[in-house]
Chains A and B, each alone.
Chain A
Amino acid sequence: MSFDYEKYIRPGKLPHIWCPGCGHGIVMKGLIRAMDALGMKKNNTAIVSGIGCASRLPGYIDCCTLHTTHGRAVAFATGIKMAKPEMQVLCVGGDGDGVAIGGNHFIHACRRNINITYLIMNNNIYGMTGGQFSPTTPTGAKASTTPYGNPDPPFDIAKLAIGAGATFVARGTAYHANQIEKLLVEAIRHKGFSVVEILDSCPTTYGRRNRFRSVVEMMNNLKEIAVSVQAAEHMSPEQMQGKVLTGVLYRDNRPEYVEEYQKVIEAAQDFAG
């Protein structure tokens, strides 16, 4: 029997707004499969997003969903998780939303290690506004605001997350559809702030400006650049040129923020007698 995606989809809310060839739909399927594999309760799950194409995802999923302001998803999610720790809280969004305008909230959520999973769909561009360069657009790439090539160096989202203190960091691609589910299952199970970056593609605003002739070519590119952590162990630095590591990149065990705050409550109540 084929997988029943509809049990997590809100009736009447599809079709989605994403363009043909966009990988966000593949990522959403991976998320739904992960939620199903974990037996997540719809009433007990909050999915929070900011602004952008990827941030429209919560509207399609039948949970407690919050489509917030640009870049602020993690801050809203922090309020939900603190106020109701028994809820499973997920954040979803894109690269511009997450690490440009939302960069401050992102690094501080990593630092606190609050038990939230953040799924970032990184398509290296601001798609919704028509293809302006984002903090993950490669240097030299064309965007509507870099007509002569991008002078900015890009962020490596995974490294940023690790540096800021996230305790589970993974990367996959929209091409490796089955892996998305597996990475998300591990991320959601992990206690602490977990970041899953899915390399995605935007044929509409990135591909056509950067000499990708078709959707298939963009997908193939994701396939070709991805190297699993295991495979990379046997590859030389030269062989890794132009490649991107995928799989679970980092895992650590640090105290989780809401649990730590529980200790504050106990200390305060002891103090108050």
Chain B
Amino acid sequence: MSNRYELRFSGAGGQGLILAGIIMAEAAAIYDGKQALQSQSYGPEARGGASKSEVIISDEPIDYPKATAVDALLALTQEACDKYSGDLKENGILLLDSDLVKKLPKGKYRVVKFPIINTAKNEVGRTIVANIVALGAMVALTGIVSKESAEKAVLARVPEAFTDLNRKAFLAGYEKAVAAKKG
């Protein structure tokens, strides 16, 4: 099972994390020719509440559709970080929004943090693309899909009028993560 790679995108309902997971999986399954499976769990809230989207990527057919030991976790809220970090692997990647997640979970992880939502709002120009900023960062940190495939997958999913905005968001996230990782 060693080539099974598990990602989890978590935060609050309405932050677009399910879409971020779908795009990650599409980048792998459609553009990189790998196997990918995306699933989610959510509560009754359409907005707010803790929400997660999981993606499993593998070279072989994927059987169990849920995460078993998470390789990379994104948490955009403290609630999501507290709730969904329990099965993150030792030395797994933990990407956090530095403004919103102050309390780190116990354990040995490769923590990367930067103000994700703020980057979307102030540098890209729209809070709504925070999910794409986060996706760019996850792509950079995990390297599990190619940057080109991920970018294609993003652009295939968003309305044409928002192509530039989303490309900008994706690249901003990608670069911030690279910088944050070095720093």
Decide if A and B touch, CB cutoff 8 A: no
Residues of B within 8 A of A (CB): none
Residues of A within 8 A of B (CB): none
